[in-house]
Homo-oligomer: A and B are copies of this chain.
Amino acid sequence: MKLIKAIIKPFKLEEVKEALSEIGVEGMTVSEVKGFGRQKGHTEIYRGSEYTVDFLPKVMVDVAVPDDLVGKTVEAIKNAAKTGKIGDGKIFVQPVEEVIRIRTDESGDEAV
Contact = CB atoms under 8 A, between A and B. Distances in A.
Interface in A24-56: 26-38, 54-55
Oligomeric state, in copies: 3
A111 to B, nearest CB: 6
A51 B88 CA distance: 27
Interface residues of A, number: 54
B102 A92 contact: no
Contacts of A68: none
Interface of A: 2-3, 6-8, 17, 26-38, 54-55, 58, 60, 62, 64, 74, 77-78, 81-103, 105, 111-112
17 contacts: A3-B94, A6-B102, A30-B55, A31-B33, A31-B34, A31-B60, A74-B98, A85-B103, A86-B103, A88-B101, A88-B102, A89-B101, A89-B103, A90-B111, A91-B99, A93-B97, A94-B95
